[in-house]
Structure formats: C-alpha cells, structure tokens
Amino acid sequence: MTGGFALEQRLRIRVYLEDTDAGGVVYHATYLRFMERVRTELLRAAGLQQSETFQSDVSFVVHSLELAYQRPAMLDDEVEVSCRVAEARPASLTFEQEVTRVSDGEVCCRGRVRVACISIASKRPKRIPPELLERIQAPPAP
C-alpha cells in the first residue's frame, strides 16, 4: 500500500475459534471486525478517541466497502491487519486495508472502506473536525 498520507496503523491479531466457520477457516465477515479494530486504532493514534467524539456529536459510519478475499486465514494463525488513509474529504475518509498472514506473508484479504462523518444527534453528514483533517493530511515523517 502506497500513498501520501502519514497516517498508517498495523495491528497483530490471533485467529480464535470464534473467528472461524465449522472448518477452522476465518469467516468472511470476521475480516470486517479485524479491519474495524485497526481503523479505530489509526484514529486513536491521530488523537481521536470515539468516547470523546461521541461527546462532541461526531461519529464515523461505514458508507461503502469493497473486499477481495485472496487466501484463507485459519484457526490459530496470527494475522497483521494494516490500514492507511487513501483519501480524506471534508466529510469522509477512505481507507485501504490488508489482512496478511504473519507466518508466510500471504495477503488473505484486501479492502477499501469509506467512512462518513456524521452528527450523532441528527444522523446526517457532518464535516470532519479541522484538527483531525490536519493530522491526517500531514506529510509523511522523514
């Protein structure tokens, strides 16, 4: 994954039985949970904690997503989930994400997720707070 944004996050996760189907293969929707966790950590690294944004009437909701399943992750695998900001607009962010099996470096799933910033009270789109956009759009560190 390449790009001009400084903000990128990685998270290692062990695959547990609850993450799999009856055959020990990671259930397709589980990848969404893994990706949600790393997006949350990316925003936390930018100084945005959801518990605080809720108090400011700000939340992020998934607007659209596209996933491509490449290889199965299995029970007991360790995977690394990566996330980077691909695009920042006034009221939405687009993330590129991958789930990679640590043992062999195989990409299990790739995703592109667009989240919209909304007002919790009105459930309507809302501009992303300027200070967060500034952090996201900062040039990559040397």
pLDDT at 9: 95
Q: Tell me if the pTM is above 0.85.
A: yes
pLDDT at 132: 79
Q: How confident is the model at residue 35 (pLDDT cuts 50, 70, 90)?
A: very high
Q: How far apart are CA 26 and CA 9, in angstroms?
A: 22
In the predicted structure, residue 65 carries a pLDDT above the cut 80: yes
In the predicted structure, residue 15 carries a pLDDT above the cut 60: yes
Choice among 19, 21, 57, 104 that is catalytic:
21
Q: How far apart are CA 81 and CA 102, in angstroms?
A: 10
**Annotation says 21 is catalytic:** yes
Measured CA to CA in angstroms, residue 59 lies from 16, 40, 91, 111 at distances of 29, 11, 11, 21
* CATH number assigned to the domain covering 8-136: 3.10.129.10
Mean pLDDT of 13-22: 97
